[in-house]
Amino acid sequence: MRSPECTAWHPASWQGRPAQQQPTYEDPAALAQVVAELSRLPPIVVSWEIEALRERLAAAQRGQAFLLQGGDCAETFADCESDSIAKKLKILLQMSLVLLHGLKKPIVRVGRMAGQYAKPRSAETESRDGVTLPSFRGDLVNRPEFTAAARRADPQLLLRGYERAALTLNFARALVDGGFADLHHPEYWDLGFVKHAPLKDAYQRIVQSIGDALDFFEGISGRRVHEASLVDFYASHEGLHLLYEQAQTRFIPRQDRWYNLSTHMPWIGMRTAKLDGAHVEFFRGISNPIGIKIGAAMDAAWLQGLIGTLNPQDQPGRLTLIHRFGVRDIESALPKMIDAVRQSGQTVLWVCDPMHGNTETSTAGLKTRRFENILKEVDLAFRIHAEHGSRLGGVHVELTGDDVTECTGGARGLTDADLQRAYRSTVDPRLNHEQALELAMLIAERSQSRRLVHL
């Protein structure tokens, strides 16, 4: 294989490599016109924000911060509305306060938001009743209805996705900057589930002490916490649709580097991480901090190849490895990956995605995940990293601020039978806002005992 570093990089150099998971467009001229338009439109984020995030991720690598990355499996254009965005932001900010309290370090908040519109699929096509059509690849590409017209890849959707990403981030930024005041104070949180939880006393203690800490801070500073510019928020999505990502990639003369300005932190999905593939070629030339999803199929040589290609200078904050093995495989798979990174001599940020290795099918045929498995994988991840002289520096979760019933378990003990009630995801099952907050509380609660063990 040709060494990737030997060839000159430019935003379209990935086109010389095999590109997985890309839609086929019927009208190349219409596609080219859209890509040209996207290349002219202003960027969604700017390079200095990206650099600020990279520095915060570098702090997380040193153990001085913790990453909370979360949001929908796939955003939809229909959900680009104020209530849904505000609720998602709210749960992320609430979780971050709970984690700050438990882990005693600043939390870096990164939404799977403002651009998470393209999905990898296990099959190119889908067949129903003898009819075969292209798979639905997310709102950026085509439409979910099972008709030939809906499943046709439509280049105009790239523009609609860009616009909605910008609208979403604009609103999220305004909420964060403008206070969103009820967000910080637990007395305004919706904590009805707490009384159903076996650990309700512990949860109440966490909530009480967050309230006390905020009162104390606001008392001595004379300012509400959001006015102290302590809250920042970043966007991330899977960098899957390479023409879309390419169109928003710009050379920033002041930094003398290329940046993908469609988001702060794009990640490479598990299905597109081939060392000689188009995605790795594209990602190697952008200066953003990037994530790589790591599954059980990855071996040491592959991971070391990715690290060498994507971060040859060992730049702090550049690489976040998001492992998603599932409770069944994490104990056998993760130690090998930790060793592989150690042998590479490079620094990475380790993050656990306890969602994608724990998907199963409910008795009624719905895709679901058990809260207990999600929690257990996070627990195992903390333990395995500590036992191997490494450090878990963040979590990556699929969640929504809405009251859905897609994952089972949690304080309210949702069962398979409850899933029908409010199952809304067309892709992966998400934690609802109660389950998400409870996960943060359990991580916070258990970190107290972990700290005692490691004293």
Residues within the interface to Co ion (CB under 5 A): 73, 428
| Residue 151 makes contact with ligand PEP by CB under 6 A | no
Residue nearest to ligand PEP (CB): 269
- The site partner of 278 among Co ion, ligand PEP, none (C-beta below 5 to 8 Å per kind) is none
Q: Find the shortest distance in angstroms from Cβ 16 to ligand PEP.
A: 24
Tokens for 103, please give them.
């882990």
3-state class of 133 per DSSP?
Answer: strand
Smaller CB separation from ligand PEP, 225 or 296: 296
Residues 345-364 interacting with ligand PEP (rule: CB under 6 A): 356
Q: Find the shortest distance in angstroms from Cβ 2 to ligand PEP.
A: 26
Query: Tokens 């159903």 correspond to what residue?
Result: 196
Q: Give residue 147's region: left, alpha or beta (phi > 0; psi -120 to 50).
A: beta
| Residue 296 makes contact with ligand PEP by CB under 6 A | no
Burial of 261 per CB tally in 10 Å (0-12, 13-18, 19+)? buried
DSSP secondary structure code for residue 252 in this structure: E
Contact 206, 423 (CB under 8 A): no
| Residue 120 makes contact with ligand PEP by CB under 6 A | yes
Tokens for 24, please give them.
């086929």
Q: Find the shortest distance in angstroms from Cβ 226 to ligand PEP.
A: 30
Work out the number of other CB atoms within 10 angstroms of the CB of residue 331: 12
| Residue 270 makes contact with ligand PEP by CB under 6 A | yes
Instruction: Give 92's Cβ-side CA count (13 Å radius).
Output: 34
Q: Find the shortest distance in angstroms from Cβ 28 to ligand PEP.
A: 27
Which positions ≥6 away from 376 have C-beta within 8 Å?
A: 327
Q: Find the shortest distance in angstroms from Cβ 73 to ligand PEP.
A: 5
Q: Find the shortest distance in angstroms from Cβ 440 to ligand PEP.
A: 19
Cα→Cα distances 114→85, 171, 195, 296, Å: 10, 10, 34, 29
Do the strands 125-128 and 131-134 form a parallel or antiparallel pair, or are they unpaired?
antiparallel
β-pair partners for 134: 125
Amino acid, res. 60: A
Buried b (16+ CB within 10 A) or exposed e, 60-80: bbeeebbbbbbbbbbbbbebb
Work out the number of other CB atoms within 10 angstroms of the CB of residue 104: 12
Tokens for 164, please give them.
């909605």
Q: Find the shortest distance in angstroms from Cβ 73 to Co ion.
A: 3
Q: Find the shortest distance in angstroms from Cβ 356 to ligand PEP.
A: 4
- The site partner of 293 among ligand PEP, Co ion, none (C-beta below 5 to 8 Å per kind) is ligand PEP
Q: Find the shortest distance in angstroms from Cβ 218 to Co ion.
A: 38
* SS3 per residue for 306-364: HHHHHCCCCCCCCEEEEECCCCCCHHHHHHHHHHHHHHHCCCCEEEECCCCCCCEECCC
From 26-34, 267-275, 342-350, 378-386, give the range in contact with ligand PEP by CB under 6 A: 267-275
From 38-46, 149-157, 264-272, 312-320, give the range in contact with ligand PEP by CB under 6 A: 264-272
Smaller CB separation from ligand PEP, 101 or 293: 293
Do the strands 257-260 and 249-252 form a parallel or antiparallel pair, or are they unpaired?
antiparallel
Q: Find the shortest distance in angstroms from Cβ 320 to ligand PEP.
A: 13
| Residue 433 makes contact with ligand PEP by CB under 6 A | no
Buried b (16+ CB within 10 A) or exposed e, 116-133: bbbbbbeeeeeeeeeeeb
- The site partner of 392 among ligand PEP, Co ion, none (C-beta below 5 to 8 Å per kind) is none
Tokens for 3, please give them.
């060494």
Q: Find the shortest distance in angstroms from Cβ 238 to ligand PEP.
A: 6
- The site partner of 323 among ligand PEP, Co ion, none (C-beta below 5 to 8 Å per kind) is none
- The site partner of 270 among Co ion, ligand PEP, none (C-beta below 5 to 8 Å per kind) is ligand PEP
Smaller CB separation from ligand PEP, 101 or 370: 370
| Residue 113 makes contact with ligand PEP by CB under 6 A | no
- The site partner of 324 among ligand PEP, Co ion, none (C-beta below 5 to 8 Å per kind) is ligand PEP
Residues 392-421 interacting with ligand PEP (rule: CB under 6 A): none
| Residue 241 makes contact with ligand PEP by CB under 6 A | no
| Residue 323 makes contact with ligand PEP by CB under 6 A | no
Q: State which H helix or E strand residue 292 sits in.
A: strand 290-294
Smaller CB separation from ligand PEP, 398 or 434: 398
| Residue 306 makes contact with ligand PEP by CB under 6 A | no
| Residue 73 makes contact with ligand PEP by CB under 6 A | yes
What does the binding site for ligand PEP look like in residue numbers (CB under 6 A)? 73, 120, 269-271, 293, 324, 356, 428
